[in-house]
Amino acid sequence: MTSKAAAPAPGAETSADSYLPGHGNGGYHVRHYDLDLDYRVGPNRLSGTAGLTCVATQALSRLTLDLGEFRVSRVLVDGRPAKFVRHGLKLQVKPARSMAAGTEFRVEVRYVGNPRPVPSRWGDIGWDELTDGALVASQPIGAPSWFPCNDHPADKATYRVTVTTSSSYLVAVTGNLVSRYQSASTATWVFERPEPTATYLMSVQVGRYDDVELVAGPGAGWFSHPEARSFRLRLGFGRASAVESVVSTVPQRAAVPPRLRRAFARDFGRQGRMMDVLQRLFGPYPFGEYVVVVTDDALDDPIEAQGMSIFGANHVDGRRTYERLVAHELAHQWFGNSLTVADWRHIWLNEGFATYAEWLWSEESGGQSADSLARMWHTRMRAKPADVRISDPGVGRMFDERVYKRGALTLHALRGEIGDPAFFALVKAWTAEHRHATVSTEEFVASAEAYAARSLRPFFTAWLETPALPEL
The sign of the dihedral angle between the CA atoms of 139, 328, 174, 182 is positive
Known binding residue 328? Answer is yes
φ/ψ of residue 350, rounded to 5: -75, -60
Q: Which of 159, 200, 404, 451 is catalytic?
A: 404
φ/ψ of residue 98, rounded to 5: -75, 160
What ranges make up the beta strands (E) of 88-201? Answer: 90-94, 104-113, 126-130, 133-137, 157-166, 170-173, 176-182, 186-197
CA proximity to 358, closest of 346, 345, 372: 372
Cα–Cα dist 67/199, whole Å: 12
Q: Residues of 61-72 as b/e, b for ≥16 C-beta within 10 angstroms? A: eebbbbbbebeb
Torsion of CA 204, 209, 214, 218, to 10 degrees: 70
Residue 159 annotated to the active site: no
Alpha carbon separation from 124 to 35, 117, 295 (Å, rounded): 23, 5, 18
Cα–Cα dist 286/51, whole Å: 26
Radius of gyration of the chain from its Cα atoms, rounded to whole angstroms:
22
Q: Residues of 243-256 as b/e, b for ≥16 C-beta within 10 angstroms? A: beebebebbbbbbb
Strand partners, 210: 256
Sequence-distant (≥ 6) Cβ neighbours of residue 319 within 8 angstroms: 266, 267
Cα–Cα dist 69/104, whole Å: 28
CA proximity to 129, closest of 153, 144, 141, 146: 146
Cα–Cα dist 152/175, whole Å: 20
Known binding residue 332? Answer is yes
- CB hemisphere CA count around 262 (13 angstroms): 1
Cα–Cα dist 29/49, whole Å: 19
Known binding residue 351? Answer is yes
125 within 8 A of 66, measured Cβ to Cβ: no
φ/ψ of residue 468, rounded to 5: -65, 135
Residue 39 annotated to the active site: no
Cα–Cα dist 197/153, whole Å: 8
Q: Which of 329, 358, 364, 443 is catalytic?
A: 329
Residues in binding site:
328, 332, 351
Residues in binding site for Zn(2+):
328, 332, 351
- Looking at the annotation, which residues are catalytic? 329, 404
